[in-house]
A and B are shown apart, each in its own frame.
Chain A
Amino acid sequence: MDTKRTIFPNPVLPYLLLAPQLVITLLFFIWPAGQAVKSSFEREDPFGLSASFVGFQHYVRLLNDPLYLDSLARTAVFAVAVTALSMAFGLALAVAVNRLVRSGRVYTTLLVWPYAVAPVIAGLLWWFLFNSTTGVLAYFLGQLGIRWDHNLNGTHAMILIIIAAAWKQVSYNFLFFLAGLQSVPHSLIEAAAIDGSGPVKRFFTIVLPLLSPTTFFLFIVNVNYTMFDTFGIVDATTAGGPAQATNILVYKVYNDGYLGLNLGSSSAQSVLLMLIVVVLTVIQFRYVERRVQY
């Protein structure tokens, strides 16, 4: 943590400048997080009047609960599928745009806007496309002999939210891959070309290894995105159903805590989620720290 060589000597002002952010952070971040940890060790009576310490009971129960483990597994499947799909698609588009000299800007504009679409709307759009009575895609699938019904078929529901989430995330991955590609030194590519290696070989032996920091960064960010920002997609389309098939962790916290009012268990779930984000953030920050030169 470094400051400037010279600083302003003022005993009060820095505290005043920091106060707004610190107050909000303490009140709405640190305090609730502490409360979550505290109530994850307590059992509250149904009226919220008293609470008794129960130790790790909520955690033990959660980790033995097939529904929770199931949700954990589904979240992992969902996160990995969305990440893989949107990164592969984003990389392909970035490589293509990077090849073009003049028309690249136009394509970039045509590809970045889904970033600005709200997850709920992304969910609604794909839901409409796959809707069994009105959906265009459901109709085409029907022509192919596939009876699409995400209201009954858990696999279909999962595919639906994976597609909606990946669709929204492609533009983000595309932008970062494009930035990464543009920082690959041209001289390296030219040298390889003079040595006689073709575009495909150059891509796999030079470009892809040089992109690995970007890829890694995007992997972490994407997993983070799929685990938390996709709440709107799930809520707008499947609401966790059918039969828990799309009940990912963040939706389960909301479901059990806000709708089911099972506060102890919901808090324990929150704490476990926080642990997951902490791990992801630490990995991400270590990477950023290494790459960014202050």
Chain B
Amino acid sequence: MVENRPFLTFLTHLVLIAGVVIVAFPVYVAFIASTRTREVLVGGMIPLLPGGHLIENYTEVLSASSAANGLPSYTLMALNSLCMALIITCGKIAISILSAFAIVYFRFRFRLLAFWIIFITLMLPVEVRIIPTYKVVADLGMLNSYPGLTVPLIASATATFLFRQFFMTVPDELMEAARVDGSGPLKFFRDILLPLSRTNIAALCVILFIYGWIQYLWPLLVTTDPGYYTLMMGLKRMVAVQDGEVQWHLVMAGAILAMLPPVLVVILMQRLFIRGLTETEK
């Protein structure tokens, strides 16, 4: 800070507190709703203080008996979301660190071509080519399966670029020393490159876990078997009831629970999260 102006500092705090309140407001209301009964929520204006049904509502969401509309139990959907997020995270990191290694540390025919094939995926988010991708997945018999849910989302260039950029900054001397010592590429990769990339990998894990957890359109397309529903689909379906009222108290409890894992990851891993975000620029 250049000069000390108490009024400006006061104003700064005021802006930030207002910002935090606005940002948190929807989640606060959702939390309130999740502690009330159905009758209170349907009866018009909901109170702005928590009610006494917190434990009751959350147990009802988590217990298998709350499943309706052909939905599986909440825990199964949470498990599916978790599997999806973890497979995407591990798969993406594994394949992109290998391909970045190949592109940076080897010179071979078609290197440029391979680079461009990978690069072009930056331009094709799954949303713009859903129908043909769906067709490929269907033809391969991968509908309603974990591979179908995850593999098409695994290949994307951002992680490859991050690793490529990082490898370029690793001093050449390290590799020369490794070669003088007689270690092959795989040994160099495992003993030197991998340990050096630890923070990058961790940062990417945070970003990719969130990316996997919040997927919606793709699981909506490839899963028709309720056994593979993810949380995001389940929540949407809990609201889209044909007859009768939406069970808002349960929906909001479910939404709060579904928000928790990725939000906790961001808050607890803040430094890694910011690093992963600003370095991949995605």
Contacts and interface: CB of A to CB of B under 8 A. Distances in A.
A193 B168 CA distance: 40
Nearest to A279: B123
Interface string A123-134: 011111100011
Contacts of A126: 26
Interface in B86-142: 94-96, 98-99, 101-108, 111-112, 114-115, 117-118, 120-125, 127-137
A114 to B, nearest CB: 6
A129 B29 CA distance: 8
B175 A6 contact: yes
Contacts of B95: 20-21, 24
A81 to B, nearest CB: 17
Contact of A24 (B8, B155, B210): B155
B243 to A, nearest CB: 16
Given A1-B115, A20-B95, A175-B274, A128 B214 contact: no
Contact of A21 (B2, B131, B160): B160
B226 interface: no
Interface stretch (A61-69, A150-158, A265-273): A265-273
B179 interface: yes
B121 A32 contact: no
Interface stretch (B59-67, B71-79, B194-202, B264-272): B264-272
DSSP class of B's interface residues: helix, strand, loop or mixed? helix
Contacts of A134: 33, 41-42, 44, 46, 248
A258 to B, nearest CB: 6
Contact of A30 (B98, B117, B160): B117
A101 B185 CA distance: 46
A56 interface: no
Nearest to A17: B102
Interface string A104-118: 000111111111111
B84 interface: no
B217 A231 contact: yes
A179 B274 CA distance: 10
A230 B12 CA distance: 31
B273 interface: yes
Contacts of B131: 36, 253, 257-258, 263, 266-267, 270
A115 B274 contact: no
Given A22-B99, A24-B155, A253-B131, A231 B216 contact: yes
B232 A24 contact: no
A139 B43 CA distance: 12
Interface string B10-30: 001101100110011111011
A61 to B, nearest CB: 17
Given A18-B114, A134-B42, A278 B266 contact: no
B117 A236 contact: no
A121 B120 contact: no
Given A111-B20, A292-B165, A294-B168, A32 B102 contact: no
B98 A17 contact: yes
A35 B273 contact: no
B191 interface: no
A1 B111 CA distance: 10
A232 to B, nearest CB: 4
B55 interface: no
Nearest to A40: B132
B208 interface: no
A273 B98 contact: no
A25 B232 contact: no
Contacts of A39: 132
Closest 6 CB pairs of A and B: A118-B214, A32-B132, A116-B262, A17-B102, A24-B155, A14-B106
Interface of A: 1-8, 10-11, 13-15, 17-18, 20-22, 24-33, 35-36, 39, 89, 92-93, 96-97, 99-101, 103, 107-122, 124-129, 133-134, 136, 139, 167, 170-172, 175-176, 179, 189-190, 193, 199, 217, 221, 224, 228-229, 231-232, 235-236, 250, 253-254, 257-258, 263, 266-267, 270, 273-274, 277-278, 281, 285, 288, 292, 294
